[in-house]
């Protein structure tokens, strides 16, 4: 199909989204396939906006979308079957994945809770100890004990900011936004796949997925993500990386949030900002006359 012919069939829709504390219009470009592609448009008018609270610089980072990516569904505790020879009782970064999650993440809808009103998306049989909104992408930054892959420091955008120890992953736990059918979902990168673990050109570059398996699948989604978005394995989604400070509260923050003692750079920055506000408050308090303090 010629490019001009393709553009002639696009439909544009606008709806508001929140980004960095400012309400922005988001234009969805819908091709003939009917799947919306998210695109944020920043207004250029001179209309003033209310000042917002200073945020961590990382909250202003926008990563590019990967559009029309075939997804497959996987789950913690998945057993080998068919051409899938890898059990998911452990992940690329967690040797006790099932135990740390709290049990088998049963994908059978009859054995799951999926409630948009309460925000519960989990197995019925137990409360998960880790976030049930997880994904796998086809790259592992760790080559072995004590070392990263040669390209990791060059291609991973946040690598230098994280300053990891040799062989310490900077990919595990990263937040990802998944978009489908006008709805966004958020999950954390917790495993590697589908099929390959060295496809940095797709994950961090602009090439399509390397594998041809399962319709060139480029992302694995957990049952919770599947249920929230109402999708099936083999369908297309759009996804991108997001910083922790950009993730809104939702079902993906209900269970298994990280130990505060292991806070990442975004949380540390927010904590420092709160300490700064407390210091200003205390300084202003000490400047008040005694008669004001007694009233």
Tell me the whole-structure pTM to 2 decimals: 0.70
Strand pairing partners for 148? 142
Q: Who contacts 36 (Cβ-Cβ below 8 Å, separation ≥6)?
A: 13, 28, 29, 30, 179, 181, 182
- In the DSSP assignment, the letter for residue 55 is -
The model's pLDDT over 35-73, given as tens digits with 9 standing for 90+, comes to: 556 654 444 444 444 444 444 566 688 999 999 999 999
The model's pLDDT over 90-141, given as tens digits with 9 standing for 90+, comes to: 999 999 999 999 999 999 999 999 999 999 999 999 999 999 999 999 999 9
pLDDT of amino acid 176: 98
pLDDT of amino acid 88: 80
pLDDT of amino acid 5: 45
Higher per-residue pLDDT: 20 or 85: 85
Q: Who contacts 78 (Cβ-Cβ below 8 Å, separation ≥6)?
A: 84, 87, 88, 107
């Amino acid at each position: 199909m010629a490019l001009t012919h393709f553009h002639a069939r696009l439909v544009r829709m606008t709806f508001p989204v929140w980004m960095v504390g400012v309400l922005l219009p988001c234009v969805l470009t819908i091709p003939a396939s009917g799947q919306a592609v998210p695109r944020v448009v920043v207004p250029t008018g001179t209309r003033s906006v209310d000042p917002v609270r200073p945020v961590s610089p990382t909250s202003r980072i926008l990563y590019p979308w990967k559009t029309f990516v075939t997804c497959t569904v996987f789950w913690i505790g998945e057993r080998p079957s068919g051409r899938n020879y890898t059990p998911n009782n452990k992940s690329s970064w967690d040797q006790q994945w099932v135990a740390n999650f709290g049990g088998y993440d049963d994908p059978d809808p009859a054995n799951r809770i999926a409630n948009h009103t309460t925000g519960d998306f989990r197995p019925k049989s137990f409360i998960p100890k880790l976030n049930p909104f997880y994904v796998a992408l086809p790259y592992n930054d760790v080559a072995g004990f004590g070392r990263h892959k040669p390209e990791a420091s060059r291609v991973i955008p946040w690598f230098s900011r994280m300053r990891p120890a040799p062989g310490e992953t900077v990919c595990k736990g990263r937040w990802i936004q998944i978009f489908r059918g006008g709805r966004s979902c958020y999950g954390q990168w917790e495993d590697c796949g589908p099929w390959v673990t060295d496809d940095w050109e797709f994950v961090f570059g602009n090439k399509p997925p390397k594998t041809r398996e399962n319709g060139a699948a480029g992302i694995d989604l957990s049952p919770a993500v599947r249920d929230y978005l109402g999708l099936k394995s083999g369908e297309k989604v759009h996804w991108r990386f997001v910083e922790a400070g950009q993730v809104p509260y939702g079902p993906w923050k209900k269970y298994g949030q990280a130990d505060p003692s292991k806070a990442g750079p975004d949380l540390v920055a927010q904590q420092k900002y709160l300490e700064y506000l407390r210091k200003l408050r205390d300084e202003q308090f000490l400047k008040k006359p005694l008669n004001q303090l007694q009233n």
